[in-house]
Amino acid sequence: MGFADISHIAFPWDLLHGFKELAQSTNGTFVDVSVGTPVDPTPQVVQEALTAGADAPGYPLTYGTIELRQAVVEWCARRRGATVLESSGVMPTVGSKELVGLLPSLLHLGAGDVVVHPAIAYPTYDVGAKLAGATALPVARVDEWRDNPSVRLVWVNTPANPHGAVMSVAELREVVDAARSIGAIVVSDECYAELPWTPDLQRSGVPSLLDSQVNGGSLAGLLMTYSLSKQSSMAGYRAAFVAGDPNLVRQLVALRKHLGMIVPAPVQQAMQAALRDDEHVAVQRALYGARRTKLVDALLDHGLKITHSQAGLYLWVTSPHELPLSSRAETLREQANIELPGAGWNLVGYLADRGILAAPGAFYGPQGGDCVRVALTASDDAIDAFVTQLC
């Protein structure tokens, strides 16, 4: 297994530095809604579990403790409809980003192999494919890769980052059937699943790849990656897991043992506590829901348009008309547009003139270039400032 050189790939957030300085220079409060970093306190039940596990002189298990893996199994059955998952099909990971970035390499993909990911997507799917020396294929429809024998790995992301769209049971089943017909692995990134906003999703829940309605009762060739960062404000813990096909998970465990990629024992204990307690998740969901309502009302009242955004931590926003910019914002817009084209930079500049920093849709692929992503992860005071300064 070798790694391709990806040091030349620019980190897109560097293009936001000038807009951040502009937003910070305004007379109002600086409001950063460009990243999905939780700001609320980590729940007490999690902190207490971490403290209780602080005496950890020995090396933890790469596979995770059986207690943690069983907690994942029970949570997946209770919250994700995954009734056939076994503890042998669960492994904790050091956050979910490292798994996304390294999975193609850990699966021994390389030259000639194709990794499919959504056309508008978190950049790490693309970076992970390139790191392995494989070809990344951004797609909007299954028909763009169906029957292609070079496809070895298919990423789905539901609810999606950045735009919050949710795949239905039928859409997920179509992906599974198409992948199984060519022997490809499907991995679903579902870390925003506990944040549904539309009434139908709040009633039925966000569908999961691990649900038997999707996979026919077999997890063969399927994995779900999940993070506790969002639902439990545990981003600083780097607490996540992968679950699904036991054969695939055992392969990953075997490699990760050699690399020392292990979740610390106290964090494993904290994860157990978080997964066994649904109450704090409901509290966090209500906080985000209240902030979301304020943001939605302010954006719509300002004549902006919100699309998708059925679930997750983000609003996907466009402007139906050209917006006036300060001369400084105009210069920054022109410079950024050269690097990553997209009309969304105009809205980024308009918001920066009002002390607000948002992420341009161009970060997530050319098809997202006309939009901006607005995160719900800001304090109540910051959200109130957003509303005041925008309106």
pLDDT > 70: percent of the chain: 97
Instruction: Report angle CA 75, 76, 82 to the nearest 5 degrees.
Output: 145
Residue 139 pLDDT > 90, yes or no? yes
Residue range 239-243: mean pLDDT, rounded: 98
Token code pair at residue 45:
């039940």
- Residue-wise pLDDT tens digits, 319-362: 999 899 999 999 999 999 988 899 999 999 999 999 999 999 99
Domains in the chain (CATH in brackets) are: 12-41+280-390 (3.90.1150.10), 55-276 (3.40.640.10)
Question: What percentage of residues in the chain have a pLDDT greater than 90?
Answer: 93
Q: From the centroid of its chain, how far is CA 228?
A: 11
Q: Which two tokens stand for residue 387?
A: 């509303």
With a cut of 90, say whether residue 6 has pLDDT above it.
no
Sequence-distant (6+) residues with CB within 8 A of 177 are: none
Three-state DSSP class for residue 274: helix
Contact 362, 368 (CB under 8 A): yes
- Residue 14 confidence (pLDDT): 84
Question: Taking a C-beta distance cutoff of 8 angstroms, is the pair 116, 139 a contact?
Answer: yes
176 and 209 Cβ atoms separated by less than 8 Å: yes
Query: Any idea of the CA torsion for 87, 89, 92, 98, to the nearest 10 degrees?
Result: -170
Under the banding of pLDDT at 50, 70 and 90, the label for residue 12 is confident
Name the E strands within the chain: 31-32, 90-94, 114-118, 135-139, 151-157, 185-189, 222-227, 239-244, 305-307, 314-318, 356-357, 359-360, 372-375
Phi-psi region of 217 (alpha: psi -120 to 50; beta: other; left: phi over 0): left
- The DSSP element (H or E) to which 322 belongs, if any, is none
Q: Are 205 and 214 in contact (CB under 8 A)?
A: no
CB 56 within 8 A of CB 265: yes
pLDDT tens across 95-124, in order? 999 999 999 999 999 999 999 999 999 999
Mean pLDDT, to the nearest integer, of 234-248?
A: 97
Q: How far is CA 28 from the centre of its chain?
A: 30
pTM: 0.93
pLDDT, one tens digit per residue, over 13-66 is 788 999 999 999 998 999 999 999 999 999 999 999 999 999 999 999 999 999
Residues 6-16 have a mean pLDDT of: 69
Assess contact for 207 and 198: CB atoms under 8 A.
no
- Of 12, 7, 229, the closest CA to residue 123 belongs to 12
For residue 213, pLDDT over 70 is answered with yes
Residues 371-386 have pLDDT tens digits of 999 999 999 999 999 9
Rounded to whole angstroms, how far apart are CA atoms 189 and 208?
9
Q: What is the pLDDT of residue 13?
A: 76
Has residue 9 got a pLDDT over 80? no
- Integer CA distances (angstroms), 191 to 54, 56, 73, 206, 344, in order: 27, 28, 16, 11, 26
- Quick one: average pLDDT of 211-237? 96
**199 Cβ contact partners less than 8 Å away, ≥ 6 residues apart:** none
**CB within 8 A of 85, min separation 6: which ones?**
72, 73, 76, 77, 210, 219, 243, 244
Amino acid 155: pLDDT = 98
Closest C-alpha among 38, 387, 71 to residue 195: 38
Q: Identify the band that residue 364 occupies on the pLDDT scale cut at 50, 70 and 90.
A: very high
